[in-house]
Amino acid sequence: NAGVTQTPKFQVLKTGQSMTLQCAQDMNHNSMYWYRQDPGMGLRLIYYSASEGTTDKGEVPNGYNVSRLNKREFSLRLESAAPSQTSVYFCASSAQLAGGPYEQYFGPGTRLTVT
Amino acid sequence: AQSVTQPDIHITVSEGASLELRCNYSYGATPYLFWYVQSPGQGLQLLLKYFSGDTLVQGIKGFEAEFKRSQSSFNLRKPSVHWSDAAEYFCAVGPYSSNTGKLIFGQGTTLQVKP
């Protein structure tokens, strides 16, 4: 049981290049999320997918697209990378606990630098 | 609007000393509250959560937190800090809506432990 996995771990892009960050979970969770983490900003939600086949914008969606490929996989795409997208990206997944809150499980992160 | 505030960006304590990390939230309904820890270069790991019942909750690694509705606070405590506790700590509130599981995160508090 690997939990939430992300690839790649590190990436350097030039301005204008594109790339896709991959995320997969093996916990049969319905909901998946993409966050970015910047110093002093905490975690900010980029996009989320409440269930397979649905995606919605979060707090900072501009410059990103997502695909919920199936229940396990949720990818994040940067079509034309900009230096402002230099950040650490985290994928998370969650399932509602019986009668309780959604506990999110996080992947190890992707450190992206755009030059 | 819902929000989470961690007033202390950086805290330094001596090993063996007690620790309290502050978290204040603004949320319209009864909140679900979480504390996560992030070790350097790692993803986020859940320390503890509160969603009902006893307002003092116990977590992993000897941490506890107390929910105080009157103060809109959910402070994290540990009686005796170990050097391995040095990390960044995030408070979160949610779910933002009943069918998405979105969480709102605070800006984080970095804990440094002096030998």
A1 pLDDT higher than 90: no
pLDDT value of position A80: 96
Per-residue pLDDT reduced to its tens digit, A53-72: 899 999 999 999 999 989 99
pLDDT (0 to 100) of residue B61: 94
- Mean pLDDT (whole number) for A32-59: 91
Q: Provide the pLDDT for residue B48.
A: 94
Across the interface, which of B42, B100, B106 has its CB nearest the CB of A48?
Answer: B100
Give start and end residues of each alpha helix (H) in B1-115.
none
Which residues of chain B does A104 touch, with a Cβ-Cβ cutoff of 8 Å?
Answer: 34, 44, 46, 101, 103
- Residue A31 and residue B100: Cβ atoms within 8 Å? yes
Q: Quote the pLDDT of residue B54.
A: 85
Res. A51: pLDDT tops 90: no
Residues of B in contact with A43 (CB under 8 A): 44, 90, 105
CA gap A78, A54 in Å, rounded: 19
Question: Among all residues of chain A, which has the CA nearest to that of B30?
Answer: A101
Mean pLDDT computed over A5-22? 96
In angstroms, the Cα distances linking A101 to A8, A25, A59, A66, B67 are 30, 19, 21, 25, 15
How long, in residues, is chain B? 115
Contact between residue B93 and residue B115 where contact means Cβ atoms under 8 Å apart: no
Q: Which pLDDT value is given to residue B28? A: 74
Per-chain mean pLDDT for chain B: 91
Does the CB of A61 have a partner CB in chain B at under 8 Å?
no
**Segment A67-115, tens digit of pLDDT:** 998 999 999 999 999 999 999 999 999 886 665 567 899 999 999 999 9
In A, which residues are within 8 Å of B102 by CB distance?
33, 45, 48, 58
Query: With bands split at pLDDT 50, 70 and 90, how would you rate the model's confidence at B97?
Result: low
Distance from CA of B44 to the nearest CA of A (A): 6
Is the Cβ pair A101, B46 closer than 8 Å?
Answer: no
Cβ <8 Å between A102 and B103: yes
Residue B10 has pLDDT above 80, yes or no: yes
Contact A106 B102 (CB under 8 A): no
Q: Give the C-alpha separation, A39 to A27, whole Å.
A: 30
Mean local confidence (pLDDT), B56-65: 96
Residue with the larger pLDDT of the pair B53 and B74: B74
Q: How many CB pairs under 8 A join A and B?
A: 63
Q: Which of A33-42, A88-97, B83-92 has the highest mean pLDDT?
A: B83-92
**CB-side neighbour CA atoms (13 Å) of A3:** 13
**Contact at CB, B102 and A48, closer than 8 angstroms:** yes
**Are residues B37 and B62 in contact, defined by beta-carbon separation less than 8 angstroms?**
no
Any idea what DSSP says for residue B30?
P
Query: What's the rounded mean pLDDT across residues B78-87?
Result: 96
Q: In which band, very low, low, confident or very high, does the pLDDT at A42 lie, cut at 50, 70 and 90?
A: confident
What values do phi and psi take at B71, rounded to 5? -105, 0
